[in-house]
């Protein structure tokens, strides 16, 4: 009996590692109940109410999400000035760039409001409040329901809640599932869509190190950019207008010039996109053996193809800069994740959790009745989907997302029906014209065609015929299996490859043209294949199995500090700044300095070009008030905060809630962190706020922006209201040098 208790205790310790202060992406309304005391013990000088409140201005009001969750940003002035990562604004920066005015390469700084650039199709969202709706959503759910009946009951309850919550205001509302359908929360957002580019450093700063340094430490990247939110005269959201004025926030962050020390408390607020911390051992096997290699293989071909054309033509380099960066980011991510999962034996650790879960379940007939099928369902799901995983990856990576024409063709095919309905023709024409503007701006026919031919040929060669889209049969029957011949006709005949011809089509739409267009045919057969794969009844096993497994784990250890997987909702993580030892005889410091820029400098390599003005300033050590106590300029630092994709641009805050950095990356040794957090290795890489401000001040000479910002040194006021007074004895620097 004693041996059994010890085994169970060991298991509970393993699965409840969430109690560690450095692990966990916490929902803000849970902080007071779960985390406040521990955070204050570690160095937080605020209360949970200072971080999240629906009754007063608080830190959440200064943190925003970009474009529905692509990145995070923060407001750093009373005039709606926004700070985020360079790579989060990369598409906008690239969109404003041309061979004649290449702000991607040269940088851009607006020296007045009039010079700020309106960004098309860009929006930010403020979190207004969170409400627990679990009881109401599950009110009509019974244990005897089938999964489809359960989904129908939950869907109806969510629809009613969202309709009710949005009835009396213009807010956007969303009920989201947590813990695999065991809890539900309502999120209310206020969205602003007049967003303007204020400034960005040259790419040689904002992306210094390129793909080589991506996901690596030590890092010397100035990954930041500045935006501004505009509103109508009443501070409400409004479409772009020259009459709009800078937004006045409820709360903006103050910028600390104190820097960081080893062991300092740090917290990060933002919108992490997705984690799989409850993933089973069978899920890890599928990821390692099938999913991850498939993504890497397809993206490797796409990257090589784009690079050929980008290197040959400066205009194409600009057009494809953002696409290349997005593709490369998760190409390297999945390589690192697979390496980390194996090196850290995450599969073995998951097997131990599952073994102990089975033992706990079998101890009690009631548990066996409720949870006994959980792991069998999960096992069956992976066994039944192994054969189609690679096909699913290829449908997206080598199909719908392989090249721009196919995705544009899908959108045209989906919307074109409206052109032939008198009541909707004008709206459909306007919508399609807008899509065309964005598509043709960054479309290079030669690059796109090469991507289509090479990636589709790989698709046909690698995937069984019964998992290939229907248009492959056309390629085989009419074009002798040669995608080049198919492309000859598609890229010469389709009105979708030429802006003028597409405009003519919109002016005189023809159903016959839609029906016979080879690009639309390819796109629609790809989407049909994608939907067929994901409409599998095996999904029911996944949903039910994981829901029961997660519910059982939480019941198995009710005292653990359980946090839900990330799902693009606002979270807070907390921990400490700190160094680490990634391997035998290897030690990494917790900061990097400007000296590292000169050490990495290689102006023959586009990834390590050092801007001449930056080099001069660094060699002269012209750091001003942004230097640390040793006279050095700190560029980046690391902490053990828990983040993932979507957290890019998130504010890193000290114990007073002041801004000390921007999170922008994780470290190579812990790339398995989305599945299993490794406290000894996992680090968040952030750009030091002093480096950001030094670039804006010394290199950009943007005194107009420096004057907007509230700098603090030697501490900050703990009161977070917009009119909080500064305690006597603290030095507050209101802009200026």
Helix (H) or strand (E) segment spanning residue 233: none
Contact 61, 251 (CB under 8 A): yes
The single residue of 22, 50, 223, 665 carrying the catalytic annotation is 223
Beta strands in 307-466 (DSSP E): none
List the structure tokens of 74: 């923060």
As a whole number of angstroms, the distance between CA 500 and CA 390 comes to 38
Please state, in angstroms and as integers, the Cα–Cα distance from residue 590 to each residue in 84, 214, 263, 489, 579, following that order. Answer: 22, 17, 10, 57, 4
Residue 125 sits at φ, ψ, to 5 deg, of: -130, 135
CB atoms under 10 Å from CB of 169, counted, come to 11
- The span from the first CA to the last CA of the chain, in angstroms, equals 69
Which residue do the tokens 């293989």 mark?
Answer: 297
- Paired strand residues for 175: 186
CB atoms under 10 Å from CB of 18, counted, come to 17
Contact 31, 21 (CB under 8 A): no
The single residue of 53, 125, 648, 686 carrying the catalytic annotation is 648
DSSP string, 528-557: HHHHHHHT-THHHHHHHHHHHHHHHHHHHS
| Residue closest to 665 by CA, chosen among 652, 680, 678 | 652
List the structure tokens of 203: 């790419």
As a whole number of angstroms, the distance between CA 592 and CA 146 comes to 56
The single residue of 29, 87, 220, 611 carrying the catalytic annotation is 87
Which residue do the tokens 């199709």 mark?
Answer: 121
Compute the 3-state secondary structure of the chain and give helix, strand, coil in percent, each to the nearest 5.
50, 15, 35
As a whole number of angstroms, the distance between CA 330 and CA 317 comes to 20
SS3 154: helix
As a whole number of angstroms, the distance between CA 527 and CA 533 comes to 10
As a whole number of angstroms, the distance between CA 417 and CA 247 comes to 40
Is 87 catalytic? The answer is yes
As a whole number of angstroms, the distance between CA 65 and CA 71 comes to 6
Please state, in angstroms and as integers, the Cα–Cα distance from residue 323 to each residue in 180, 676, 726, following that order. Answer: 32, 29, 46
Please state, in angstroms and as integers, the Cα–Cα distance from residue 709 to each residue in 197, 623, 703, 736, following that order. Answer: 17, 18, 10, 9
| Residue closest to 540 by CA, chosen among 418, 671, 377 | 377
Q: How open is the CA angle 150-151-156, to the nearest 5 degrees? A: 100
- Cis-peptide into 716, omega within 30 deg: no
Catalytic amino acids? 87, 223, 648
């Amino acid at each position: 009996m004693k041996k059994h208790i010890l085994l169970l205790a060991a298991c509970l310790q393993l699965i409840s590692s969430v109690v560690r202060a450095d692990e966990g992406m916490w929902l803000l309304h849970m902080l007071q109940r779960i985390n406040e005391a521990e955070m204050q013990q570690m160095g937080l000088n605020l209360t949970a109410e200072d971080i999240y409140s629906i009754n007063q201005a608080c830190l959440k009001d200064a943190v925003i999400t970009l474009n529905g969750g692509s990145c995070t940003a923060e407001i750093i002035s009373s005039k709606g000035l926004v700070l985020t990562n360079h790579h989060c604004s990369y598409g906008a920066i690239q969109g404003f760039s041309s061979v004649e005015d290449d702000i991607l390469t040269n940088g851009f700084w607006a020296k007045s409001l009039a010079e700020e650039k309106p960004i098309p199709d860009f929006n930010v969202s403020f979190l207004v409040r969170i409400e627990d709706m679990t009881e109401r959503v599950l009110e009509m759910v019974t244990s005897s329901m089938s999964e489809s009946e359960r989904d129908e009951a939950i869907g109806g309850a969510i629809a009613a809640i969202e309709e009710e919550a949005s009835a009396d205001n213009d807010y956007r509302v969303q009920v989201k599932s947590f813990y695999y359908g065991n809890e539900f929360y309502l999120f209310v957002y206020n969205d602003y869509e007049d967003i303007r580019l204020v400034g960005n450093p040259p790419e040689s700063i904002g992306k210094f190190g390129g793909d080589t340094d991506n996901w690596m430490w030590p890092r010397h990247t100035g990954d930041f950019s500045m935006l501004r939110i505009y509103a109508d005269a009443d501070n409400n959201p409004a479409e772009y207008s020259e009459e709009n004025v800078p937004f006045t926030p409820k709360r903006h962050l103050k910028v600390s010039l104190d820097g960081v020390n080893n062991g300092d408390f740090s917290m990060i607020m933002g919108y992490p996109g997705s984690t799989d911390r409850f993933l089973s051992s069978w899920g890890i096997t599928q990821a390692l053996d099938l999913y991850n290699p498939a993504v890497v293989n397809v993206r490797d071909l796409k990257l090589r193809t784009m690079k050929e054309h980008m290197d040959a033509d400066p205009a194409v380099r600009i057009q494809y800069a953002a696409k290349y960066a997005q593709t490369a980011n998760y190409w390297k991510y999945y390589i690192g994740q697979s390496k980390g999962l194996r090196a850290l034996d995450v599969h073995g650790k998951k097997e131990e959790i599952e073994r102990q879960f089975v033992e706990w379940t079998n101890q009690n007939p009631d548990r066996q009745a409720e949870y006994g099928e959980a792991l069998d369902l999960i096992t069956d799901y992976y066994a039944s989907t192994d054969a189609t995983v690679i096909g699913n990856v290829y449908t997206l990576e080598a199909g719908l997302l392989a090249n721009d024409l196919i995705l544009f063709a899908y959108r045209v095919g989906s919307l074109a029906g409206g052109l032939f309905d008198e009541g909707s023709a004008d709206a459909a024409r306007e919508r399609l014209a807008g899509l065309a503007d964005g598509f043709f701006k960054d479309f290079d026919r030669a690059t796109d065609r090469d991507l289509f031919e090479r990636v589709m040929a790989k698709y046909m060669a690698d995937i069984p015929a019964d998992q290939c889209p229907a248009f492959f049969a056309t390629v085989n029957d009419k074009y002798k299996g040669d995608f080049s011949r198919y492309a000859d006709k598609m890229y010469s005949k389709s009105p979708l490859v030429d802006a003028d011809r597409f405009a003519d089509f919109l002016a005189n739409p023809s159903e016959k043209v839609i029906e016979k267009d080879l690009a639309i045919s390819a796109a629609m057969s790809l989407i049909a294949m994608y939907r067929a794969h994901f409409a599998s009844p095996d999904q029911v096993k996944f949903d039910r199995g994981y829901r029961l497994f997660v519910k059982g784990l939480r019941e198995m250890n009710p005292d653990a500090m359980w946090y839900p997987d990330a799902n693009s909702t606002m979270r807070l993580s907390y921990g400490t700044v700190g160094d680490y030892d990634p391997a035998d005889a290897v030690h990494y410091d917790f900061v990097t300095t400007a000296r590292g820029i000169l050490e990495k400098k290689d102006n023959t390599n586009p990834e390590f070009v050092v801007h001449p003005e930056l080099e001069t300033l660094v060699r002269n050590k012209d750091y001003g008030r942004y230097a640390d106590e040793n006279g050095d300029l700190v560029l980046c630092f690391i902490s053990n905060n828990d983040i993932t994709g979507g957290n890019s641009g998130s504010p890193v805050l000290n114990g007073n809630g002041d801004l000390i950095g921007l999170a922008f990356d994780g470290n190579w040794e812990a790339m398995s962190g989305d599945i299993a957090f490794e406290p000894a290795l996992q680090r968040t890489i952030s750009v030091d706020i002093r480096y950001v401000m030094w670039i804006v001040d010394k290199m950009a000479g943007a005194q107009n922006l420096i004057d907007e910002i509230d700098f603090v040194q030697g501490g900050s006021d703990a009161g977070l209201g917009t009119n909080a007074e500064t305690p006597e004895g603290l030095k507050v620097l209101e802009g200026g040098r």
